[in-house]
Chain A
Amino acid sequence: MSGQGAIREYLLAFADDEHLMGQQHTEWIGVAPFLEEDLAFSSIGQDELGHAALLYELVLELDGIEPTDTAVDRLAYGRPSREYRCCRLVEYTTRDWAEALARHWVYDTFEAARWRLVADSSLTRLAAVAGKALQEEAFHRRHADALLDKLLASPEARTRMLGALEAILPMVPGLCGAVAGEAEAVRRGVASAPTPDLLGPLEKAIAERFLVEVSGSGSRSGSHSTADGQFLRTVRSTDFEPLMKRMREVLDYDPEAVW
């Protein structure tokens, strides 16, 4: 893969994760457990959508396309599913609020670490976005931690949160999965280390936050990294198409509309 192609894949994986995660968070508007949380969670989702839009702009610039709103929309919503590079965790349809909250904490912990890898990126525009994103991520984590501090201290809520975490954990190695070409992107200084390097520290953080054993998925991930589509971010789960359909619902009324 060419250097530019590798960088593009790297940015696309990052952008697609942010896009889908933002969408999933905002879907709690109106149905979160209480009004204030409803506002806060969907507002955090909007931050993620903002990151996605900035990352998609960088992809378009690599493609030599002017990053107009319409061009960003087309890239964000208009690709065939095989061209997306999101991970399983952000595609996953959570079954309840506990799973959404467990994912929120895990994803945002990962995301902050991911932004730190590109804080001194050779792609100066990416480094600039990282500065802004890291400020927001500190708050996202604080939001998730404030909820978990309260919930994990209560026996019933703790049981439910641990059940939710169990559903989330198998998708964590895929979250840290690298696209093909990532090694080349790292060689070119786009990121200071490969994404799979984040898996060990992330599992350790999860174990400390939830006071559970997070065993072995880190050591297994090595064998996945070359063969399994989930870890290369090339395979879409069955949750992807319904999610994309919801995301495109308004856009599909008039794809050329100017907002």
Chain B
Amino acid sequence: MHVYEVFVKKDGRDEFRHAGALEAATDELALVLAREGYVRRAEGDRLWVVRRDHVVAADDDFVAPNADKPHRHHDGAAVAARRKAARQSRQ
């Protein structure tokens, strides 16, 4: 048996969203079982199943170092506020 991650896309949306996971013996069984488990109530119109061991996953500490780099975290709010203030002062 393999674990499969299930992704579902809603009509009109661009992205597939992760819906859950299931165990199945073959790709075809994974699709068939995902259909009943995840889209039988019209949750979406397209379906992917991906074997979990086919996902290229980073190690946990691969991502963590970026937490101590606050200069990469600004969301532009300060800049936006300054631009807004500048606009208003011109009026």
25-53 of chain A: CB within 8 A of chain B: 34-37, 39-40, 43-44
Instruction: Tell me which of B8-16, B25-33, B68-76, B79-87 binds A.
Output: B25-33
Interface size class of B (residues with CB under 8 A): 10 to 19
- In the complex where A142-B32, A143-B32, A146-B32 touch, is A40 in contact with B37 (Cβ < 8 A)? yes
Q: Nearest Cβ distance between residue A25 and chain B, in whole angstroms?
A: 12
Taking CB atoms, residues of chain A closer than 8 Å to B60 are: none
Helix, strand, loop or mixed for chain B's interface?
Answer: helix
A147 within 8 A of B: yes
Say whether B35 contacts A36, CB under 8 Å.
no
A252 within 8 A of B: no
Q: Nearest Cβ distance between residue B33 and chain A, in whole angstroms?
A: 4
Q: Nearest Cβ distance between residue B88 and chain A, in whole angstroms?
A: 58
Say whether A37 contacts B33, CB under 8 Å.
yes
How distant is the Cα of A142 from the Cα of B32 in the complex, in angstroms?
7
Q: Nearest Cβ distance between residue A39 and chain B, in whole angstroms?
A: 5
A150 within 8 A of B: yes
A66 within 8 A of B: no
Residue in A closest to B37 when the chains form the complex, CB atoms: A39
How distant is the Cα of A149 from the Cα of B25 in the complex, in angstroms?
10
Say whether B23 contacts A146, CB under 8 Å.
no
Q: Nearest Cβ distance between residue A139 and chain B, in whole angstroms?
A: 7
Taking CB atoms, residues of chain A closer than 8 Å to B25 are: 150
Say whether B40 contacts A36, CB under 8 Å.
no
Q: Count A-B contacts at CB 8 Å.
A: 38
Say whether A39 contacts B26, CB under 8 Å.
no
B22 within 8 A of A: yes
- In the complex where A36-B37, A43-B40, A143-B32 touch, is A150 in contact with B22 (Cβ < 8 A)? no
Residue in B closest to A34 when the chains form the complex, CB atoms: B23
Taking CB atoms, residues of chain A closer than 8 Å to B53 are: none
Say whether B36 contacts A39, CB under 8 Å.
yes
Interface mask (A119-153 → B, CB under 8 Å = 1, otherwise 0): 00000000000000000000100110011011000
Say whether B36 contacts A43, CB under 8 Å.
yes
How distant is the Cα of A43 from the Cα of B37 in the complex, in angstroms?
9
Residue in B closest to A139 when the chains form the complex, CB atoms: B35
Say whether B36 contacts A146, CB under 8 Å.
no
B19 within 8 A of A: no
> Which listed residue, A36, A139, A142, A150, touches B26 by the CB 8 Å rule?
A150
> Which listed residue, B26, B28, B33, touches A40 by the CB 8 Å rule?
B33
Residue in A closest to B36 when the chains form the complex, CB atoms: A40
- In the complex where A34-B23, A36-B23 touch, is A150 in contact with B29 (Cβ < 8 A)? yes
Say whether B23 contacts A40, CB under 8 Å.
no
Residue in A closest to B28 when the chains form the complex, CB atoms: A146
A residues engaging B (CB < 8 A)?
Answer: 34-37, 39-40, 43-44, 139, 142-143, 146-147, 149-150
B residues engaging A (CB < 8 A)?
Answer: 22-26, 28-29, 31-33, 35-37, 40
Q: Can you sample 28 A-B contacts with CB below 8 Å?
A: A34-B23, A35-B22, A36-B22, A36-B23, A36-B24, A36-B37, A37-B33, A39-B33, A39-B36, A39-B37, A40-B32, A40-B33, A40-B35, A40-B36, A40-B37, A43-B36, A43-B40, A44-B36, A139-B32, A139-B35, A142-B32, A143-B36, A146-B26, A146-B28, A146-B32, A147-B29, A149-B26, A149-B28
